[in-house]
Amino acid sequence: MAGTVTVPGSSVPSTPLLKDELDIVIPTIRNLDFLEMWRPFFQPYHLIIVQDGDPSKVIKVPEGFDYELYNRNDINRILGPKASCISFKDSACRCFGYMVSKKKYVFTIDDDCFVAKDPSGKDINALEQHIKNLLSPSTPFFFNTLYDPYREGADFVRGYPFSLREGAPTAVSHGLWLNIPDYDAPTQMVKPRERNTRYVDAVLTIPKGTLFPMCGMNLAFDRQLIGPAMYFGLMGDGQPIGRYDDMWAGWCVKVICDHLSLGVKTGLPYLWHSKASNPFVNLKKEYKGIFWQEDIIPFFQNATLPKECDTVQKCYISLSEQVKEKLGKIDPYFVKLADAMVTWIEAWDELNPSDAVVASGNGKAAAK
C-alpha cells in the first residue's frame, strides 16, 4: 500500500517514515489476526513473516498487507546445509527474516503484542517512535542526566563535553512493554499476577561497557550498521536451552556496538504484551541458562575485540572464537553455538554479498 495514511486521534504521519527503507519481521505459529490492530501503523510497510513449527500449516494474514512468508521448507531451500544455524520451534527463527531483508532498517514484534495507549489514552505508534530513536544519535560515551538530549524539549546538561555532543550513530532501539512483564520463569512463579502499569516517558542510551537483557518482542535496528550480529542463537528444538535467543543477540550486539562506537537506546516505545507464557514450560527451557548466565555475563563483560575487527562480520567471528574457547569449557553446547555463529555469518554474506559495514576510527560508521 502506498500513499497516505490518516487515522483520527493517532500520530501516524501523512507520509510514513522510512516507508521504503524498513521491513517488519514477525515470527509466528498462528494466524496473524493481531495485525488488524496494527493496520493503521503497519500497512504502508513490507512484512516478512517467518512461520515456525509445521510448514504444512497454512498461516492466514489479513488482506491488504504487503508481505512475504517463509516456512521451514523455504529456509532449508534457501540456505541449504547452512539452514542448521536457524533455530526451530523457537522465536529465534525470526532472525532468518533479518537475513533475507534487503532494507536498511528492521522492526520486529511478537504476535501477542498489541497497540498500547499512553497516559492520555492515545494509541502509541511504536514503529514511529523506534524510527525516531534510530534516526537520532546516541550518547554511549557520557551519560546525559536528561536522558536523550535529542528529544524535543531536552538538551545536553551543564558539564556535558561539547566534543561528545555530536553523538554516535544509533544501531539499536529497544522498546518496552505494558501489562505482562518480560520475566524469567522463577520470577513469573513468585509474581504470577504482577503487571507493568508504569509508563515512563523516557529514552536513554545504554552506556558503553554496560550490558543489558535485550527483549526481541519490541525491537528495531539499523540492519546496515549491526544486522550481521543480530543472530538469535541456536535455541529451541534439539537444543538444551531456549528463551535466551534475544538476550544472546543483545550481549553480542552490545559488545560489538561498543567496539565500533555505535549506540543502543532503550525506553520508548511501549506496546501491550497481551499474554503470559506458561512459567513451568519456560522453566524447562531456561533452567540451564539460569545457571550458565552466571558465566556468560562475565564472559561478555570481559570480551575484547582486536583493532583489526573493523566490520560487524569480523567482530562476530572473533566473538565466536572466544565463545568456543572460553564458554566451550562449560558445556559442549557452546562449541556448537560458536560453530553456528560462523555458519550464520557465512549464510548472511552469501545472501548479502555487499552488505559489509566499516567503522572508521572517529566513531562514524559507513557502508562499504
Q: Which three cell numbers stand for residue 114?
A: 498489541
In a domain? residue 368: no
Residue 94: the pLDDT is 98
Structural domain including 129 reads 22-352
Q: Which helix (H) or strand (E) holds 348?
A: helix 332-351
Residue 1: the pLDDT is 30
Q: How many domains does the chain have?
A: 1
The per-residue pLDDT string of the chain (368 residues; one tens digit each, 9 = 90 and over) reads 333 333 444 444 468 999 999 999 999 999 999 999 999 999 999 999 999 999 999 999 999 999 999 999 999 999 999 999 999 999 999 999 999 999 999 999 999 999 999 999 999 999 999 999 999 999 999 999 999 999 999 999 999 999 999 999 999 999 999 999 999 999 999 999 999 999 999 999 999 999 999 999 999 999 999 999 999 999 999 999 999 999 999 999 999 999 999 999 999 999 999 988 999 999 998 999 999 999 999 999 999 999 999 999 999 999 999 999 999 999 999 999 999 999 999 999 999 997 654 433 334 443 33
Give the Cα separation of 134 and 226 in Å (integer): 12
In a domain? residue 13: no
In the beta sheet, which residues pair with residue 172? 221, 264
Closest Cα to residue 90, out of 220, 219, 244, 221? 244
In a domain? residue 7: no
CATH number at residue 316: 3.90.550
**3 state SS for 114-183:** ECCECCCCCECCHHHHHHHHHHCCECCCCCCCCCCCCCCCCCCCCCCCHHHCCCECEEEEEEEEEECCCC
In a domain? residue 3: no
In a domain? residue 290: yes
What's the pTM value of the predicted model, to 2 decimals? 0.92
In a domain? residue 115: yes
DSSP per-residue letters across 70-117: E-HHHHHHHHGGGGGGS-BSSGGGGHHHHHH--SSEEEEE-TTEE--B
Residue 276: the pLDDT is 86
Q: Tell me how far CA of residue 262 lies from CA of 23, 44, 232, 357, in angstroms.
A: 21, 29, 20, 12
In a domain? residue 131: yes
In a domain? residue 119: yes
C-beta separation of 252 from 344 below 8 A: no
C-beta separation of 61 from 67 below 8 A: yes
Give the Cα separation of 41 and 34 in Å (integer): 12
